[in-house]
C-alpha cells in the first residue's frame, strides 16, 4: 500500500521537518520500537513521524544513494514489526510501505500521532523488561523523565481537533474525486491504487477515517480537505475578503470562499493577486532602469493568509476575515496563538511555538506546498515586506489570545487607489463564470455526462459512492441552477427516470 505523500519530497525534508524523520541503515527492532512509541506519543502535536529503513543518516540527513535492504529482509522486518507493535501499551500499529527507491529496497514506516496517549514500550526486548514512555526531543528519541511523563498524561485527553473522529459524519461525506485530485497534485503513487482498492481501505490508509468496521467514521481533517460542503460540519470554515473602495469605508464589496480549505486558500490568493495586489513602475531620475515594486508583495500575502488556515481553530464558528483597505491588508482569525506566544514574542524576528493546534492540517498543506515548516511563516512575511521596500508587518493578539491579527501596510510609494472601481461588486446575481467556482466533484459530473445522459444513481456510482449523497445531490442542483446541466424530462424534475444532460455551457467546462 502506497503512502499519501510524495516520496522524493519526503526524503528530502521538503514537506516533513527533519525532526519528524528518522533514517536507519539497518534493522534494529529495539530502536524502532522506541521511536514508534515516541512518534505515537507526539508530545509536541507535530503529527507523528516517519522511520526510513535502508538509508543511513549523517547529521540528521539521509545519505544517498541508499544502501538499501535485501528483499528477504523487507518481508522479515514487516513480520517482526507486527510482533513488536503488540508490545506497545496501549497497542499501536503504524502504516508501512516497502518501496524501491533509486533501485534499492527501503521500508518507510509512517507513525501518526496516536489517539490513546500516553504510550509506553519495553526498555528492551527481553521477556521481563521494564516499560517506559518515549518522546521525541528535536531529532532524538529519549525515555521520558518524571516531568515529561506528567505532561504526557495531561495530553491524554487532548487529541487535536483536526485529528478527532467526527461522529456526526458518514464515510460517504469524504469525496473520492477530491481525494484523487489531491493525491494526483502531490504526486503520490497512491492515486493509481485509489481506484483498485475499496474506499474504506483508501480512507484508512490515508488516516482520514478511523473506527471499527461497523463504525468507520471520517476524522475532521478528512472532512476539511475532502468535502465540498464544509458548512454542514464546520460553520466557520470559510474565508471572507472585504475590499474597501473609499478611505471612510462606506463603499465596499465582499467575496466569500468556501469548500475544502486548501481550495479556499488557493482561490482567495488568486482573487487577491488579481484584484488587490498591483505592480507599480516608477521612473527614478538619473537611473536608466525604472523602479518596480508591489503595493503588497504576494509572498507576504500568501504566508499571512496560509498562517490562519493552518493555525486557526475549526471548532470556532468565526471565519477568517481579510480586509483590503486603502492603506493596508488586515487578516483576522480566531482564536489567537497558543501559549507561550504573546505580543512580546510576536515582535521578535523568529517566533518559536511549543504546541500546534492542527497537527494534520499542516501536513496536508505542506504536501501541497501551501505552507512550509514550523516557525517559518512570520520570518518569511518580514523578509518579503523588506525586500519590497514595504513597512514592517504587524502581528498582534490580546492578553487572552482570543484573536490573531496580521497587518500588512501598503508600500509608501504605491498609489492609494481602490483595487477596483467602486461599481464593481460580487453580488449574488453575478454571471456564472464569477459566481460558481466548479469543484472537483462538479467537474467529474460534467465529464461523466459528456459521454451520455446519466441518472443521479449512475453518477453517484461512477464517483465511487454506493448511494446518492448530500454532496452529490447539492453538486447536481448547483450545476442545474447555473446552466451547466439540464433535465432530460424538464416538466418532471423528480421523475425516477430523470437523467442529467450536458448543456453547451457545460461542454465549455470539460
Non-local (6+) Cβ contacts of 336 within 8 A are 397, 398, 400, 401, 402, 403, 404
φ, ψ for residue 54, nearest 5 deg: 110, 0
| Range list for CATH 3.30.565.60 in the chain | 239-409
Cα–Cα distance for residue pair 139/510, rounded to 1 Å: 48
Q: What is the pLDDT of residue 420?
A: 46
Q: What is the pLDDT of residue 8?
A: 92
Non-local (6+) Cβ contacts of 269 within 8 A are 298, 301, 302, 305
Cα–Cα distance for residue pair 261/307, rounded to 1 Å: 12
Bridge partners of 241?
255, 322
Hey, how many other C-beta atoms are within 10 angstroms of the C-beta on 11? 24
Report residue 304 as a C-alpha cell: 499571512
- pLDDT tens, per residue, the chain with 510 residues: 678 999 999 998 888 888 899 999 999 999 999 999 999 999 988 889 999 999 999 988 999 999 999 999 999 999 999 999 999 999 999 999 999 999 999 999 999 988 888 999 999 998 889 999 999 998 899 999 999 999 888 877 678 899 999 999 999 999 999 999 999 999 999 999 998 999 999 999 999 999 888 889 999 999 999 999 999 999 999 999 999 887 766 678 899 999 999 999 999 999 999 999 999 887 766 666 778 899 999 999 999 999 999 999 999 888 999 999 989 999 999 999 988 888 888 887 766 665 678 989 999 999 999 987 666 789 999 999 999 999 999 999 988 888 999 999 999 988 664 444 433 333 333 333 334 567 778 888 998 999 899 999 899 888 877 777 666 777 888 899 888 999 999 888 888 889 999 998 888 888
Hey, how many other C-beta atoms are within 10 angstroms of the C-beta on 178? 23
CATH of 239-409, one of 3.30.565.60, 3.30.420.140, 3.30.420.40, 3.40.50.2000: 3.30.565.60
Q: What percent of the chain has pLDDT over 70?
A: 91
- Give 195: exposed, middle or buried? Use CB within 10 Å, 0-12, 13-18, 19+: exposed
Rg from Cα positions in the chain: 25
Report residue 268 as a C-alpha cell: 482567495
According to CATH, the topology of domain 432-507 is Arc Repressor Mutant, subunit A (1.10.10)
Q: What is the pLDDT of residue 148?
A: 92
Q: What is the pLDDT of residue 248?
A: 64
| Range list for CATH 1.10.10.10 in the chain | 432-507
Contact indicator for 485, 479 with CB cutoff of 8 Å = yes
Q: Give Dmax over CA atoms of the chain in angstroms.
A: 83
**Residue 93 in 3-state DSSP?**
coil
E strand map for 112-205: 120-122, 131-137, 140-143
Cα–Cα distance for residue pair 477/489, rounded to 1 Å: 15
Q: Please name which of 208, 210, 406, 203 lies closest in space to residue 311, comparing C-alpha atoms.
A: 406
Cα–Cα distance for residue pair 305/486, rounded to 1 Å: 38
Span 1-159: which CATH code? 3.30.950
Alpha carbon dihedral 82, 85, 86, 91, in 10-degree steps, equals -130
E strand map for 383-475: 394-396, 404-409
Q: Please name which of 489, 488, 479 lies closest in space to residue 453, comparing C-alpha atoms.
A: 488
**Ramachandran assignment for 203, one of left (phi > 0), alpha (psi -120 to 50 degrees), beta (any other):** alpha
Amino acid at each position: 500500500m502506497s503512502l499519501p505523500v510524495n516520496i522524493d519530497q519526503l526524503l528530502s525534508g521538503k514537506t516533513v521537518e527533519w525532526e519528524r524523520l528518522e533514517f536507519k541503515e539497518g534493522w534494529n527492532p529495539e530502536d524502532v520500537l522506541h521511536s514508534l512509541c515516541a512518534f505515537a506519543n507526539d508530545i509536541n502535536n507535530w503529527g507523528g513521524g516517519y522511520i526510513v529503513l535502508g538509508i543511513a543518516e549523517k547529521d540528521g540527513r539521509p545519505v544517498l544513494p541508499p544502501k538499501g535492504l535485501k528483499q528477504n529482509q523487507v518481508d522479515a522486518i514487516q513480520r517482526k514489526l507486527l510482533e513488536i507493535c503488540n508490545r506497545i501499551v496501549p497497542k499501536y500499529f503504524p502504516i508501512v510501505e516497502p518501496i524501491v527507491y533509486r533501485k534499492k529496497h527501503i521500508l518507510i514506516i509512517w507513525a501518526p500521532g496516536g489517539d490513546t496517549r500516553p504510550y509506553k514500550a519495553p526498555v528492551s526486548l527481553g521477556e521481563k523488561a521494564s516499560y517506559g514512555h518515549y518522546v521525541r526531543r528535536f531529532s532524538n528519541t529519549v525515555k521520558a523523565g518524571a516531568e515529561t511523563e506528567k505532561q504526557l498524561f495531561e495530553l491524554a485527553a487532548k487529541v487535536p481537533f483536526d485529528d478527532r473522529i467526527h461522529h456526526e459524519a458518514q464515510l460517504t461525506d469524504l469525496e473520492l474525486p477530491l481525494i484523487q485530485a489531491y493525491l494526483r497534485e502531490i504526486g503520490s503513487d497512491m492515486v493509481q491504487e485509489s481506484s483498485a482498492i475499496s474506499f474504506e481501505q483508501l480512507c484508512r490508509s490515508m488516516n482520514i477515517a478511523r473506527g471499527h468496521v461497523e463504525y468507520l467514521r471520517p476524522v475532521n481533517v478528512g472532512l476539511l480537505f475532502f468535502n465540498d460542503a464544509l458548512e454542514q460540519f464546520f460553520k466557520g470554515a470559510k474565508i471572507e475578503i472585504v475590499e474597501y473602495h473609499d478611505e471612510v469605508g462606506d463603499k465596499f464589496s465582499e467575496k466569500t470562499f468556501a469548500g475544502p480549505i486548501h481550495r479556499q486558500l488557493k482561490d482567495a490568493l488568486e482573487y487577491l493577486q488579481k484584484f488587490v495586489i498591483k505592480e507599480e513602475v516608477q521612473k527614478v531620475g538619473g537611473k536608466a532602469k525604472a523602479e518596480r515594486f508591489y503595493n503588497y508583495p504576494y509572498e507576504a500575502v500568501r504566508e499571512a493568509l496560509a498562517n490562519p488556515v493552518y493555525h486557526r481553530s475549526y471548532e470556532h464558528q468565526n471565519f477568517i476575515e481579510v480586509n483590503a483597505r486603502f492603506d493596508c491588508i488586515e487578516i483576522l482569525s480566531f482564536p489567537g496563538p497558543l501559549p507561550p506566544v504573546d505580543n512580546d514574542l510576536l515582535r521578535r524576528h523568529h517566533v518559536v511555538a511549543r504546541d500546534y493546534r492542527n497537527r494534520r492540517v499542516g501536513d496536508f498543506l505542506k504536501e501541497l506546498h501551501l505552507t512550509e515548516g514550523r516557525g517559518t511563516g512570520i520570518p518569511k512575511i518580514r523578509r518579503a515586506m523588506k525586500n519590497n521596500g514595504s513597512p514592517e508587518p504587524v502581528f498582534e493578539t490580546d492578553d487572552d489570545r482570543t484573536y490573531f491579527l496580521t497587518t500588512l501596510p501598503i508600500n509608501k510609494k504605491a498609489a492609494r487607489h481602490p483595487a477596483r472601481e467602486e461599481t464593481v461588486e460580487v453580488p449574488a446575481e453575478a454571471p456564472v463564470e464569477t459566481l460558481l467556482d466548479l469543484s472537483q466533484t462538479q467537474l467529474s459530473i460534467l465529464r461523466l455526462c459528456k459521454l451520455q445522459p446519466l441518472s443521479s444513481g449512475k453518477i453517484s456510482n461512477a464517483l465511487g459512492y454506493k448511494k446518492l449523497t448530500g454532496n452529490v445531490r447539492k453538486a447536481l442542483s448547483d450545476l442545474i441552477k447555473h446552466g451547466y446541466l439540464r433535465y432530460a424530462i424538464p416538466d418532471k424534475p423528480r421523475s425516477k427516470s430523470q437523467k442529467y444532460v450536458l448543456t453547451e455551457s457545460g461542454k465549455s467546462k470539460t
